[in-house]
Amino acid sequence: MGTTRFGEVITAMVTPFATDGSLDTKTARRLAAHLVEHGSDGIVVCGTTGESPTLSHAEKLELFESVVDEVGDRASVIAGTGTYNTAESVDLTRRASDLGVDACLVVTPYYSRPPQNGLLSHFRAVADASAVPLVLYDIPGRTGRRIERDTLVELAGHERIVAVKDAIGDAGETARVRAALDRAGRSDFEILSGDDPLLLPHLAAGAIGIVSVCSHLVGDRIKRVLGAWNAGDVEEARARYLDLLPLFAVIMGVTSSPIPVKAALGMLGIDVGDPRLPLVPATEQERSSIRTALEAAGLL
């Protein structure tokens, strides 16, 4: 894992479902082990890619426990415990902490779009209740609310708020956030890229790793991008990144995530089932684009 808290390549794991739509923890265990054996230093369970809004509390806790039991001795396990309800987020974070996760991923409250002072109070309430470190999750495209730069710097002063998953989609702003954190004496606060297509720009802007969807498919190759970058071989890192970019573009762009990566896993012989409504399986046209991208990447 190097010097990072939770690892350089952290996979935002899909949640496998059986044909009847029920949670499939046996496949979740196998998938987690597969990911750790193919480049992942850590696993996020029940994040966006894990279809967290469709999971009950009981299902989330079962997944946390199963993945910790399967790979907790080999990789960091980060539990997605954030919701748009502070009390619910506090309760789920406490329960996840008790199950032995290494950290919790807490998304900006969605739908209600709280003001910045509301975000401060929300995240501090969760951090105060948590026995493990928190990774904030800033994804305004899905939540409707950004964690503004000054808010993030202030939150970084909390002893248990240690990192952010940056999915704002603007590497220039990521660089400005990194600079503001450093000026405030928060150089140990970690930025994790939350956007596969922006991996290299985010590294240049000050990120130290990635929470990746495409690492389900090319975890070892993403790991080599980071290895080259950290070794100071910028040309090698760029070449490897550009080689992966067409695959990233399709898996992250052809339709709503995690529809494409679930389809891609099935094509590679790892059956994780269909998404739960309101998400739907990939269409035939989307599957054709995904298959072409997998073939071009040498995966099929």
Tokens 């939150």, residue?
A: 155
Helix/strand/coil percent split, the chain, to 5: 50, 15, 35
Hey, which residues are catalytic here?
137, 165
CB-based contact 32:70 (threshold 8 Å): yes
Do 90 and 126 touch, CB atoms closer than 8 A? yes
The one-letter amino acid code at 241 reads: Y
Q: How far apart are CA 35 and CA 75, in angstroms?
A: 10
- Our measurement of the distance from residue 171's CA atom to the centroid of its chain's CA atoms, rounded to an integer in Å, reads 17
Q: How far apart are the C-alpha atoms of 67 and 74, rounded to whole Å? A: 11
Contact between 241 and 222 (Cβ < 8 Å): no
Q: Is it true that the peptide bond before 114 is cis, omega within 30 degrees of 0?
A: no
Q: What gap in Å lies between CA 203 and CA 230, rounded to an integer?
A: 9
Report the alpha-carbon distance of residue 186 to residue 153 in Å, rounded.
Answer: 8
Which residue do the tokens 């070892």 mark?
220
Q: Residue 111 carries which DSSP code?
A: S
User: 26: how many CB neighbours lie within 10 A of its CB?
Assistant: 11
**Phi, psi (deg, nearest 5) at residue 79:** -95, 130
